[in-house]
Chain A
Amino acid sequence: MSPTQWDFPVELCCRPMAFVTLTGLDVVYNAVHRAVWDAFCANRRADRVPISFKVLPGDHEYPKCRPKRTSYEWYIPKGILKTGWMNKHLNLVPALVVVFYELDWDEPQWKEKQSECATRVEIVRQSLQGRNTKVAVVLIQKKTPLPPGEDVIASERAAALCNACELSGKSLFVLPHTDHLVGYIIRLENAFYEHAQTYYYTEIRRVKSHKEFLNKTTHQLLFVRHQFKIAFFSELKQDTQNALKNYRTAYNLVHELRAHETNILEIKTMAGFVNYKICRLCFQHNTPLDAIAQFRKHIDLCKKKIGSAELSFEHAAWMSKQFQAFGDLFDEAIKLGLTAIQTQNPGFYYQQAAYYAQERKQLAKTLCNHEASITYPNPDPLETQTGALDFYGQRSWRQGVLSFDLSDPEKEKVGILAIQLKERSVVHSEIIITLLSNAVAQFKKYKCPRMKSHLMVQMGEEYYYAKDYTKALKLLDYVMCDYRSEGWWTLLTSILTTALKCSYLMAQLKDYITYSLELLGRASTLKDDQKSRIEKNLINVLMNESPDPEPDCDILAVKTAQKLWADRISLAGSNVFTIGVQDFVPFVQCKAKFHAPSFHVDVPVQFDIYLKADCPHPMRFSKLCVSFNNQDYNQFCVIEEASKASEVLENLTQGKMCLVPGRTRKFLFKFVAKTEDVGKKIEITSVDLVLGNEAGRCVVLNWQGGGGDAASAQEALQASRSFRRRPKLPASEVHWDSISTQASTMIISRVPNISVHLRHDPPALTNEMYCLVVTVKSNEKTPVRDVKLTAGLKPGQDANLTQKTHVTLRGTELCDESYPALLTDIPLGDLHPGQQLEKTIYVRCGTVGSRMFLVYVSYLINTTIEDKEIVCKCHKDETVTIETVFPFDVAVKFVSTKFEHLERVYADIPFLLMTDLLSASPWALTIISSELQLAPSMTPVDQLESQVDKVVLQTGESASECFCLRCPSVGNVEGGVATGHYVISWKRTSAMEDIPVISTVITLPHVIVENIPLHVNADLPSFGRVRESLPVRYHLQNKTNLVQDVEISVEPSDAFMFSGLKQIRLRILPGTEQEMLYNFYPLMAGYQQLPSLNINLLRFPHFTNQLLRRFIPTSIFVKDRPGDLMDANQSLFL
């Protein structure tokens, strides 16, 4: 953009630097001079002194200095600040003129050269006549100078040169053209800088000296001007503190000026300049709060200084510029390291600038709406002789006129007209949009998403005014969702209204329809008459006609739009618009609801689609269809009515395909699920509602899933929170809020109509072939086919159970490891209604514990639903838990031949093995047989015949057996000697003949075998009689390989008299036997203690009588003699 009248002049915005001109340098043809100049210009970084250099010819004419005024008494200033002044001191009047001259100290033609140099200096002085500008001479030398004081010629000639040029020694410099050029240059420019500062200092003094001549009445303007100049010179001197102070004074002085309509622009312009400088310096001094405070003060002071009402847009433009400039300054300061915050950032200033720019546009629109016949005045009152103004902020047609009265009202009018007409050509929208986009960028940075959206809306609206509808739509569309998601319906409606206009004017069908849909919807806050209008337009569009133009549109644009719409009609094809509704709030709401969360496959799947329209008038639709995840069902769920375009408006209220505002419409859909879908989920993926028809234009409203748009989630939440009672509705209608969406359902198999009955006698006994009778009875009304049975261990239990459970259909043989735990799909054939069949399965459980058994019966049946024959697979399962127990407990014990409990047996001495079989089964058991399988180390003493064959044991009963065994002598075996196995063959008493017998093998315990040195067995009758001789023979066997010395004694007993050796000592040879014979003579009847035999082995002191007594009887039953029985009885009764 080219700078406009309102932009600040460049010289104001730049950083003032001391101006130094270099003369005598031939930068084009002289390489040395070129190098010197480059060293001055190149790398001017912050660490170098702030000087702006310029190369000028030696005879350059500097701006003339006006003659000094001796008195201000009659002087009346014509304005505050001349437009050329700042530029003059920045770029035209140097603080220092440097004369470069090539001269070495040992120059042979010194005299001539010296005078030439003096002439050059003189010429420069001539052109600077009257100015305080300093002059300095730099001698470019080829040789490196000697240290000061050593070169006598040099100091002499230097003095002479200074004299000739009328220079002070401080103004003469030497620049040796050597390797260290840059170093010399930097020293040189520092020296120049000092001179420049001195110059600006004197300038400040000079301006200050004028003050005393001024008086407040006539020279008010001069006070401002001088103060501004002092401040500006201070800036050039790089004294920013003083510059700021002086600018502040200047600012106050500006506002002290008497303001009038004629000079208000000048005052504002100057105030703006000074304010800009102050803010700039404040930011530079890192006091942003001062800058903001100053700016606020400035705005407050100037806000009301509008000036001429006819040119009030100028004020707005000026205000806009003030804010923009401040925003720029602020932004620049941030780039240099300042931190801004959310509530204080440049964005606000850009926004305000945009606001004033909008105001400017508004004002310009009302003030500059001249008729076309009014032409631009000629001669142009805005033209000046020089092409520019003399003073900042003055009117070109009355420059320098200070009078507040308008001397020439006619001229004034022409001037105002010219300005107004010029304003018409300004592209306001462009300015506004630029400012807004600046603000957007800032607010984005400072976390203000909503402010950003707001500004983008404004930008969109501005684009709309600027007739750039594409961009407008793009912006508006972008922010719409923000307002929608936050539920600011008023704002959304306003944005939509603009967007609708844009889409109308561009004849963008799809956008037009979308915005119409939403503006008719419940989120729109439009009045009913507006909605009616939009609805009418929408219907028109659907009938392939042009809609009426939107209100308040530009007439020309409407004409173009109408043409576009007409073209659209003739254009064939692409008349179907699918619009996804999940991102906006259309005027039709939709909810889909399956009647149940699951359906049996033999009943039709039913669901309702509820539709509700929020538009003001009834709306017809042509088609409603539903899509599923299984697309095969789509064809069953379509409601379509072939309605001609002309009918759309007729019969509105009664038609089925018609949505009445505010009423909830329900559409019932029904379809038969496929048998393959049993166990699957059927989901509604989308619902499509078609407005209009293919003959005209079609709009397909597409709801994803079970309906719902951008606002419905929140509404559902509110509805669920509400306790409010809903008004009663007729029975046929439902309350919209009370409908909840159910977009999916499960298809489950048909309910079986058979009975599965299990007959069995729990618990199962370990290893038995447990019999499970399954009875299947059909209660179906039609024959069923393909009945299949799956029975066995229910999967998913402990893995060990699977290995210890076996199922078979044949009970006649025992099953082994190879049989499975679950029998699958045993075909059972077909079943007629009422028929029943039985199947027996046998289960063998190897371990105790409880098991779950599954009996699963499946079958096929033909059924008819909705006149459609389908084959349904039904199944019924039964689960039963069966406990497995041991059939009996077997206890085994070893006893001596005297039935005394033995902890160990003695080698070669017979002992008894007793088995005790206790039935634990609740059912009677038949022991078929038992068998003792002896280990090789054991030998039977007599026949090992089973004593419990064919015994039936009821619960709790036991069967015992006894076997006499002998164990030959073995070595000392750790853990004892194996005895063998005890095998019991048994079955349930109730079991059939063909059921195999189960053999249960019991491993007998090991027994510890011990050797004894001497074995004694007694030979005596089973009983004695009183007073009858009782012969007893003791056999003493030596079981060792040694000769045994045995001491034997018999202790007397009261019950017996006896004869035989009472005490004897004898020897028994290895392996032989000694017999001892005693004659006992019982004296008393009853169970009597025998006289005890004591044996003492001399070699085996551990051999005790205790041990001995295990083998020989210690008592005997003595009977009375037959004749004595009476006496005994008598004595008993006495």
Chain B
Amino acid sequence: MCQVYLWNYPLYIRSVPTENELQFHYMLHTSLDVVDEKISAMGKALVDQRELYLGLLYPTEDYKVYGYVTNSKVKFVMVVDSSNTALRDNEIRSMFRKLHSSYTDVMCNPFYTPGDRIQSRAFDSMVTAMMIQVC
């Protein structure tokens, strides 16, 4: 499982397990194609502005990639093992919400410059807790 928060470059990447990290990075990067497309589609159609969850971005053989985008266009992407059937859409959605609120806390820190890589202990531990729960 792997998560990323980005503008178009990564602000925070965490992955478990770590051995195939590069592949995850590529996966995250390519998933932005779909996120971009979805965001531009969002601009056209009148959709609920409060719905930030983008759903399953694209299927691969072994992983599922989910996306979430805030109103300030910060993208959250989550990659989970496709064999993990315990994770339904609703769980993913609530995880994203949790991440979003945690990210908001980071942003509220006056010493954090928007656009810098996130180096927050509180954020780290929240992500760790979430990953432990899932894996």
Contact = CB atoms under 8 A, between A and B. Distances in A.
A488 B29 contact: yes
B48 interface: no
A721 B114 contact: yes
Contact of A447 (B9, B25, B37, B114): B37
A673 B114 CA distance: 43
B33 A449 contact: yes
A355 B60 CA distance: 11
A343 B58 contact: yes
B22 A352 contact: no
B124 interface: no
Interface string B98-124: 000000000000110111100000000
A491 B58 contact: no
B34 interface: yes
Given A490-B10, A491-B26, 14 more contacts: A342-B34, A343-B59, A348-B58, A348-B60, A448-B33, A457-B26, A487-B8, A488-B10, A490-B13, A494-B22, A718-B113, A718-B116, A721-B115, A722-B113
A724 B37 CA distance: 35
Nearest to B65: A343
A1109 interface: no
A450 B113 contact: no
Contact of A723 (B9, B110, B115): B110
Interface in B32-60: 32-34, 37, 57-60
A450 B30 contact: yes
Contacts of A647: none
A343 B22 contact: no
A454 interface: yes
B61 interface: yes
Given A488-B10, A494-B22, A723-B110, A352 B33 contact: no
A718 B115 contact: yes
B61 to A, nearest CB: 6
A709 to B, nearest CB: 16
B58 A447 contact: no
Interface string A336-368: 000000110000100010010000000000000
Given A488-B10, A491-B22, A454 B29 contact: yes
Contact of A355 (B8, B22, B30, B61): B61
A1107 B115 CA distance: 100
A721 B8 contact: no
B58 A488 contact: no
A942 interface: no
A560 to B, nearest CB: 28
A119 to B, nearest CB: 64
Nearest to A455: B30
A828 interface: no
Classify the secondary structure of A's interface with B. Answer: helix
A758 B104 CA distance: 67
Contacts of A448: 30, 33-34
Contacts of A483: 29
B57 A343 contact: yes
A724 B113 contact: yes
17 contacts: A299-B61, A343-B57, A343-B58, A450-B32, A453-B29, A487-B8, A487-B10, A488-B10, A488-B29, A491-B22, A494-B22, A718-B113, A718-B116, A721-B114, A722-B113, A722-B116, A724-B111
A874 to B, nearest CB: 48
Contacts of B37: 342, 447
Interface in A607-653: none
A494 B29 CA distance: 14
A405 interface: no
A1083 interface: no
List 5 tightest A-B contacts by C-beta distance, closest first.
A487-B9, A448-B33, A722-B113, A451-B30, A343-B58
B9 A486 contact: yes
A1064 interface: no
Nearest to A725: B111
B35 to A, nearest CB: 10
A436 to B, nearest CB: 13
Classify the secondary structure of B's interface with A. Answer: mixed
Interface residues of A, number: 27
B113 A491 contact: no
B113 A723 contact: yes
B119 to A, nearest CB: 12
Contacts of A355: 61
Interface in A145-183: none
Contacts of B115: 717-718, 721
Interface of B: 8-10, 13, 21-22, 25-26, 29-30, 32-34, 37, 57-61, 110-111, 113-116
Contact of A488 (B9, B111, B114): B9
A486 B116 CA distance: 14
B9 to A, nearest CB: 3
A718 B37 CA distance: 27
Interface in A469-517: 483, 486-488, 490-491, 494
Contacts of A451: 30, 33
Contact of A450 (B21, B33, B110, B114): B33
Nearest to A443: B33
A721 B30 contact: no
Nearest to B114: A721
Contacts of B116: 718, 722
Interface string A425-465: 00000000000000000000001111101100100000000
Nearest to A493: B22
Nearest to A720: B113
A724 B10 CA distance: 21
Contacts of B21: 490
A482 to B, nearest CB: 9
A450 B9 CA distance: 12
Considering residues A342, A447, A449, A483, which has the most beta carbons from chain B within 10 angstroms of its beta carbon?
A: A342
A486 B8 CA distance: 6
A343 to B, nearest CB: 4
Nearest to A457: B26
B36 to A, nearest CB: 8
Contact of B33 (A299, A447, A457, A722): A447
Nearest to B24: A490
Given A486-B9, A718-B116, A343 B34 contact: yes
Contacts of A352: 60-61
A723 B111 contact: yes
A342 B33 contact: yes
B45 to A, nearest CB: 15
A491 B25 contact: yes
B57 A486 contact: no
Contacts of B60: 348, 352
Interface in A888-932: none
A1125 to B, nearest CB: 107
Contacts of B57: 343
B110 A454 contact: no
Contacts of B59: 343, 348
Nearest to B115: A718
Interface in A271-307: 299
Contacts of A721: 113-115
Nearest to B57: A343
B25 A488 contact: yes
Nearest to B37: A342
Nearest to A323: B61
A467 to B, nearest CB: 22
Contacts of A449: 33
A449 B8 CA distance: 13
B1 to A, nearest CB: 18
B25 to A, nearest CB: 5
A451 B13 CA distance: 19
Nearest to B13: A490
A488 B114 CA distance: 17
A486 B111 contact: no
A488 B11 CA distance: 10
B10 to A, nearest CB: 7
A355 to B, nearest CB: 7
A491 B29 contact: yes
